[in-house]
Amino acid sequence: MRDMLAAVVAILLLFLALRMATALTRDRRKRHGERASVEADGRTILAEIPSDTGLVFFTEDAEAFYHGDRPIPKAGIAAARVLINGAPIAVAARPDRQAAAAIPSDLVQQRPEGLARDRWDVAIDTEDETVVVPCGAIREQISQELARGIFDAVKRTLEASG
């Protein structure tokens, strides 16, 4: 009886392991297909941002940045800010804009310990609206690195336009 129960448990565990492996393979293939589709459109993937519904790509091409499918035209960007819990800690603006004078323009410094569970976002100010790119609140500096990468890309665009 005990051997029979052990065999059933072993078969059940094997089934669960195979099911998880299949799900991981399916998700990896789906993500690879999404990446290939984005790259086929001529975009460069700058960041893969975790969200409640999966990964959202922050991409760019020659004319615009894209947060998911939402375009942010480069020509219309006036400023970008790195936010921690909604408070700006770094800003970059077009040279003809003076709105950034009150906030330090230096990039976020590397913090070895990170800021545990703080929400990191990048706010991109356009002529018409402000687009907030949520980078998350993941430990181990992951969200900080995502925000820094997005901010750097937008900052380079702003510097090149001036």
Residue 110 makes CB contacts below 8 A (sequence gap 6+) with none
Would you kindly state where each structural domain of the chain is located, as residue ranges? 75-161
Distance CA 88, CA 147 (A): 12
- Give burial (CB, 10 Å; 0-12/13-18/19+) of 49: buried
Q: One digit per residue, pLDDT tens: the chain, 162 residues? A: 889 999 999 999 999 999 999 988 988 898 888 888 888 888 999 999 988 888 899 999 999 999 988 999 999 999 999 999 888 999 999 877 655 444 444 444 454 445 456 889 999 999 889 999 999 887 668 888 999 999 999 999 988 876
